[in-house]
A = this chain, B = another copy of it.
């Protein structure tokens, strides 16, 4: 199952240079694409490769088009952002062969009589849906999912198998929650009395906007008294931990294994590299970019790129540098002593 180039361009835009009736069946990387594929050039540095590509058509930027046209004989789709066009074309091809879960409730699912399941929604095998939960039109609840009391799953949102979505929490439209994610678990809140921890009930919710993706085995704590907020368009990778009462601004993206402690307020359009960590109660401005493996221990008021991890070295070298790091203050003392001595010497010389 494929499509004509002309139809693709009609749907996704771009300027087609070539035969609109050419049939293509899918999308592939530049070097792997066969004669029935389209491919794309998103990085100008690789444009020399296009001359050897077997692809039926290439998605290229206006800036690369002349170069590509000179060496490559297939069709071209010219568009300002080839990578975005690739994403949309890939979505288009994926939709052609997608197996959409059928509307309806699987016989093995346990759905409370008071839950409201839209007729167009899909509830998979072995799922559990508690009293008062609302599953909107076109939503997909995978096998083995748990949806708590009065939770809300928005229109067209898909939960893959084995997601846990706790009571009273909400997610908007067109979201994706991957397997093993846990939304709305209790935050880590305790009062300490003579060394013993007294649990503080976590009575807030998790409120998630539209177009939010949440990765596999990611956990998002419900608020303690107020709510945990995830704004529209946020993208969270796998195994991320978001503490209670955090607020993540719209269109912020976090790579795998990131941790955000409670009550952190993170701006819009931020990015976090894998395994970055944010301490609690911090405020991070919009458009802040945190490098992988970096610990954010203070609020950041200024947009920009921030990093902080110990550089890797051969083990013997690391042992040497780490030993010096441990004693940096003595090194500083030595330098100060040297400065003093030299000052004395210089003064003597000047006499």
Contacting residues, chain B, for A309 (C-beta < 8 A):
295, 297, 308, 310, 322
| A298 to B, closest residue via Cβ | B312
State whether B146 touches A143 (Cβ < 8 A): yes
Contacting residues, chain B, for A72 (C-beta < 8 A):
none
State whether B315 touches A305 (Cβ < 8 A): yes
Query: How extensive is the interface on chain A, given as a class?
Result: 35 or more
Contacting residues, chain B, for A324 (C-beta < 8 A):
328-329, 331-332
- Inter-chain CA distance A201–B95, complex, in Å, is 9
Question: In the complex where A84-B193, A342-B345 touch, is A325 in contact with B310 (Cβ < 8 A)?
Answer: yes
A residues 291-326 with Cβ under 8 Å of B?
291-298, 304-315, 317-326
Shortest A68–chain B CB gap in Å is: 19
Give A contacts to B, CB under 8 Å: 27-29, 32, 81, 83-84, 86-88, 90-91, 93-94, 99, 106, 108, 110, 124-128, 142-144, 146, 148-149, 160-162, 164, 166, 176, 178-180, 182, 185-186, 188, 190-193, 195-201, 203, 213, 215-217, 219, 221, 225-226, 233, 235, 237-239, 241, 243, 251, 253, 255-257, 259, 261, 269, 273-275, 277, 279, 290-298, 304-315, 317-329, 331-332, 334-335, 338-339, 341-342, 345-346, 348-349
- The 7 A-B residue pairs with the shortest CB-CB distance in the complex, in nearest-first order: A308-B312, A94-B201, A87-B191, A146-B161, A110-B125, A305-B315, A185-B216
